[in-house]
Structure 1
Amino acid sequence: MSGGDDVGGVDGGADETAQVMASLGTRLRAVRQARGLTLAQLAAATGISVSTLSRLESGRREPGLRHLLPLARAHRLALDELVGSRTGDPRVHPRPFTRHGQTWVPLTRNPNDGLHAYKQILPAPATPRTGSTPRPEQGSHEGHEWLYVLSGRLLLALGDHDLVLTAGQTAEFDTRVPHGIANAGDRPVEWIALYGAQGERMHIRVRPTAGRTRDAS
């Protein structure tokens, strides 16, 4: 490679950096607005003054690490995610995948605090059931889970307790308790799940009625 090519490569990198920095104010404003935060609220969360935040977003001040690090923490983004988008688009573009017969749709990127959100889907049974829903295989692991049923009927087996949750109902539990899920209806079941890294005491938000396999109410 010639010396002229080397210089061109350096200039190209400098141009790219300049483009990212030029669009950063728009990016910072878009991320804040997407999270529904006012300048005052973000100032309280970061320790950066409202006037400085305003200048950063308008491009009248170039941000340094002393600004970007607290902003990334407040928005729960990695630093490269905060500064890497030239479009100012804070949206997550999920890539669904299948695991254990379920479809998983990621709703978060890679947050630093270990919290992950997914939309999960279990298909309808291949053949109509004539009896009760078979109890799912259970597993346990460190962590904490919260789920919200969007549609269908979800069988949640927690330890020795079985609960059937329907649209609009939630459950919250310590994942160290053996647990498993199954489709308790004849249509697909969809729910939102949040997974946290820290285990907490199990707490079910629904009140089961009498009987082992129960509809939550």
Structure 2
Amino acid sequence: MDPRTEDVLDAVGPRLRSLRRDRGITLADLAATTGISESTLSRLESGQRRATLELLLPLATTYDVPLDDLVGAPRTGDPRIHLKPIHRFGMTFVPLSRRPGGIQAFKMIIPATPEPLEPTPQTHDGFEWLYVLNGRLRLVVGERDLTLPVGEAAEFDTSAPHWLGSADGRAVELLILFGPHGTRAHVRAENH
């Protein structure tokens, strides 16, 4: 076997173990979700069993990552990024980062509406940083109701009730960085 292929295959187990641990999933939970026995998962992570498509496909689905990311497949040299938009809550989220865990980057598009929507605040674990690329964002966080024009940024703990929408019914485009609770975006300015 080609040594490069051997290296890729040898790295699959540790990559799978790291991904599972980063997400805080036990072998028992993963076995229940994927239908793969705990012993098979353990042997796969320790490198005692080779990865097969039959094993990797349910893991890729469970972790919501491309199969290439699970195996660490080498890039093909094609510089294009194939973004797959996610449509939720009437908005479009375009993932800009592909690594599991840690801070995730998204372009978020809030479509135009004939009438501005009434806020329906939600909560979830994490921390969010956003930057308005286009339009006027209405941001409700707790008791604060703000309008952010192009070029403004905000950050907040998403365990506080929050809602994002258009301030004037027109489309809004944002850059969003979302991280697990306790993880914040850090900006450092250089003195010249």
Q: TM-score range by the shorter chain?
A: 0.5 to 0.7
Aligned-residue offset at 1:192: 0.6
State the identity as a percent: 46
Aligned counterpart for 2:111 among listed residues 118, 123, 141: 123
Distance 1:198 1:117 in 2: 15
**Residue 188 (structure 1) aligned with residue 176 (structure 2):** no
Matched AA of 1:85: P
**Residue 102 (structure 1) aligned with residue 91 (structure 2):** yes
Distance 2:79 2:72 in 1: 11
Matched AA of 1:106: P
Aligned counterpart for 2:138 among listed residues 148, 155, 169: 155
Aligned counterpart for 1:146 among listed residues 129, 132, 138: 129
Match of 1:142, SS? coil
C-alpha contact 2:125 2:158 (8 A) present in aligned 1 = yes
Aligned-residue offset at 1:95: 0.3
Matched AA of 1:179: H
Matched AA of 2:147: V
Identify if the C-alpha distance between structure 1 residues 117 and 20 changes in structure 2 by more than 3 Å, giving closer, same or farther.
farther
Root mean square deviation of aligned Cα: 2.9
C-alpha contact 1:20 1:85 (8 A) present in aligned 2 = no
Distance 1:103 1:20 in 2: 40
CA deviation profile, 1:6-48 (whole Å, cap 9, x unmatched): xxxxxxxx24x54697xxxxxxxxxxxxxxxxxxxxxxxxxxx
Distance 1:144 1:186 in 2: 26
Aligned-residue offset at 1:199: 3.5
Distance 1:92 1:110 in 2: 14
Distance 1:80 1:98 in 2: 22
Identify if the C-alpha distance between structure 1 residues 84 and 122 changes in structure 2 by more than 3 Å, giving closer, same or farther.
same
Q: How many residues align?
A: 125
Distance 1:147 1:86 in 2: 30
Aligned counterpart for 1:136 among listed residues 102, 114, 119: 119
CA deviation profile, 1:91-118 (whole Å, cap 9, x unmatched): 6421012100001100011244x21111
Match of 2:159, SS? coil
Query: Which runs of no fewer than 5 residues in structure 1 stay unpaired?
Result: 1-13, 22-78, 202-217
C-alpha contact 2:103 2:183 (8 A) present in aligned 1 = no
Runs of 4+ in 1 over 3 A off after TM superposition: 17-21, 79-83, 88-92
Q: Which residue number in structure 2 is paired with residue 85 of structure 1?
A: 74
Query: Which runs of no fewer than 5 residues in structure 2 stay unpaired?
Result: 8-67, 185-192
Matched AA of 1:101: G
Aligned-residue offset at 1:155: 0.5
